[in-house]
Amino acid sequence: MKPTLEQVDQYEVPSFLAERIAQIYQVPQDFADGLIFEAKRMLYLCAITDKSVAPSDRVDWAWHEMIMFTKFYKSYAEFLGDFIHHVPNPPESEKDPHETWEEIQEKLGRPRKEGETYTQTKALYKKELGIDPDPLYWP
């Protein structure tokens, strides 16, 4: 049986995961906490659907760091009932992952070109979780 969204949101993460994200990506601690929250939800969506799911570039930062904590990531996968493998994009299609905090704030509210899978992910988020994805994390 799959966990509830409430259980997903409350799932404990390693104590310095957010600190690591904040330091590596030069973002505030509360933003890093939000990235982890959204990455856990994104992985939950992967576990409850057979559709392709794509994180935002920002949520992907947290996912990358979560994978580095192998014991945690394995435990979280068991909790979800599904191990979610990370499939990276080819190098030529990757964007600069080190958007600055100032650039993130500057882009708020601006339209973004979205791929089909990413657009479907945001629609799935709304359908399955009952709320729109936060544009700070899902531009």
pLDDT tens for each residue of 5-55: 999 999 999 999 999 999 999 999 999 999 999 999 999 999 999 999 999
Within-domain flag for 123: yes
Within-domain flag for 137: no
- The pLDDT of residue 42 is 97
Within-domain flag for 53: yes
Give Cα 94 distance to the centre of its chain: 16
**How many domains does the chain divide into?**
1
Where is average pLDDT lowest: 75-79, 89-93, 98-102? 89-93
Is 80 exceeded by the pLDDT of residue 103?
Answer: no
Note the pTM of the prediction, 2 decimals. Answer: 0.84
Stretch 76-95: mean pLDDT, rounded?
Answer: 78
> Which residue in this structure is represented by tokens 């973004």?
112
Own/partner contacts of 78-86, CB < 8 Å, gap of 24 or more, are 79/3, 79/7, 79/11, 80/2, 80/3, 80/8, 80/43, 80/44, 80/46, 80/47, 81/1, 81/2, 81/3, 81/47, 82/46, 82/47, 84/43, 84/46, 84/47
Within-domain flag for 79: yes
Within-domain flag for 135: no
The residue segments making up the domain with residue 61 are 5-87+98-129
DSSP state of 4: P
Within-domain flag for 138: no
- The pLDDT of residue 78 is 96
Q: For residue 41, what are the contacts with CB-CB under 8 A and spacing of at least 6?
A: 5, 8, 9, 125, 129
Distance CA 56, CA 42 (A): 10
Q: 3-class SS at 11? A: coil
Within-domain flag for 70: yes
